[in-house]
Amino acid sequence: MDKKAIAKAAELIRNSKHTVVLTGAGISTPSGIPDFRSPDYGMWSKYDPFEVASLWGFKENPEAFYGWARSLMDKVRNARPNPAHISLAHLEKAGYIQTIITQNIDSLHEQAGSKHVLPLHGTIKTATCLDCGHRVQITEEFWEEVRKGGIPRCPKCGGLLKPDVVLFGEPLPYEILKEAQQEALLCDLMIVVGSSLMVMPAADLPALAKRRGSKLILINLQWTTMDSQADVLIHENAAKALPRIEKQVLDGRRK
């Protein structure tokens, strides 16, 4: 691992007044949750996303969505925060991180202890009826029905219940997106962790921050379109890189 890059990242974090983190699927793969776009093992190498993870696909064939979601959601529900999530929570508690914007639906940042988290792509904690708009908490009974091959229905009208995750063809939650964009404009340091930066509008947030003069730390196993603009570039597993950065940040504070 590049010791100079780790040291420079720690220095930028210590000197920042407003640090925002953007996380993608790569931060959660060490917790056992598969990513979507890796060419050899990503989920979209096995499934057509527009059949199983689009709004129109869900409406036409909810059985295909829930068949695909069954194994994924079991992995999500059984996952636990890894050292990358925990390091970000520690840095937030110490006052070095102000906001975490995440493209993930797994709630692992919150489980790790992070307080100010903006879930751009929704959550699996609730589901909404497509007919009457009634919202329900997703319980173990909900997923037990899915595991048995059933389709969860609205307790009020019998309509289809869709988990409150953003599917292809759906807009992002307006207020959360607005706040994320404001954070990108306010920050003087953005840290991107485990994101391919291929999905808009989340992918535009680092560019927005850079245009406003922010520094950029990029931690990702794969190449991204923002690599050339990063002030610190770390092509490493986030669960290994972030604890080392955290240690240097906190050790530097104590000196």
Q: What is the pLDDT of residues 211-236, one digit of tens each?
A: 999 999 999 988 898 999 999 999 99
Q: Is the pLDDT of residue 49 over 60?
A: no
Q: How much is the average pLDDT of 143-163?
A: 90
Q: How much is the average pLDDT of 115-124?
A: 92
Q: How many CB atoms lie within 10 A of CB 211?
A: 11
pLDDT in tens, 13-30: 999 999 999 999 899 999
| Rounded CA separation 35/43 (Å) | 6
pLDDT band at 51 (very low <50, low <70, confident <90, very high): low
Q: How much is the average pLDDT of 4-13?
A: 96
The end-to-end CA distance of the chain, in Å, is 24
Tokens for 129, please give them: 């009826």
**What local confidence, expressed as pLDDT, does residue 147 receive?**
85
Which of 43, 2, 11, 1 lies closest to 196, judged by CA? Answer: 43
**What local confidence, expressed as pLDDT, does residue 255 receive?**
47
Question: What residues does CATH 3.40.50.1220 cover in the chain?
Answer: 1-33+81-121+172-255
Which of 198, 191, 180 lies closest to 6, judged by CA? Answer: 191
- CATH 3.40.190.10 for the 34-78+123-165 domain, yes or no: no
Q: 117 pairs with which residues across the strands? A: 100
Which of 65, 45, 77, 39 lies closest to 163, judged by CA? Answer: 65
Q: Is the pLDDT of residue 48 over 80?
A: no
As annotated, the active-site residues are: 121
**What local confidence, expressed as pLDDT, does residue 41 receive?**
42
**Percent with pLDDT over 70 in the chain:** 91
**What local confidence, expressed as pLDDT, does residue 52 receive?**
65
| Rounded CA separation 194/16 (Å) | 21
- CATH 1.25.40.10 for the 1-33+81-121+172-255 domain, yes or no: no
Predicted TM-score (pTM) above 0.85: yes
Q: How much is the average pLDDT of 153-166?
A: 93
**Which range is least confidently modeled, 49-63, 92-106, 202-216?**
49-63
pLDDT band at 35 (very low <50, low <70, confident <90, very high): low
| Rounded CA separation 231/50 (Å) | 36
Question: What residues does CATH 3.30.1600.10 cover in the chain?
Answer: 34-78+123-165
pLDDT in tens, 64-100: 888 887 777 778 878 899 999 999 999 999 999 999 9
| Rounded CA separation 119/53 (Å) | 18
Tokens for 146, please give them: 């899915």
| Rounded CA separation 73/146 (Å) | 10
Cite the DSSP H helix spans in the chain.
Answer: 3-15, 49-52, 55-60, 62-78, 83-93, 108-112, 140-147, 174-186, 205-211, 238-254
**What local confidence, expressed as pLDDT, does residue 65 receive?**
85
Tokens for 236, please give them: 């490493």
- Cβ atoms of 52 and 70 within 8 Å: the answer is no
**What local confidence, expressed as pLDDT, does residue 60 receive?**
87
**What local confidence, expressed as pLDDT, does residue 32 receive?**
87
**Is residue 99 exposed (0-12), middle (13-18) or buried (19+ Cβ within 10 Å)?**
buried
**What local confidence, expressed as pLDDT, does residue 37 receive?**
46
The mean predicted confidence, pLDDT, of the chain is 89
Plot region of 194 (φ>0 → left; ψ -120 to 50 → alpha; else → beta): left
Which residue has better confidence, 1 or 93? 93
User: At 122, which helix (H) or strand (E)?
Assistant: strand 122-129
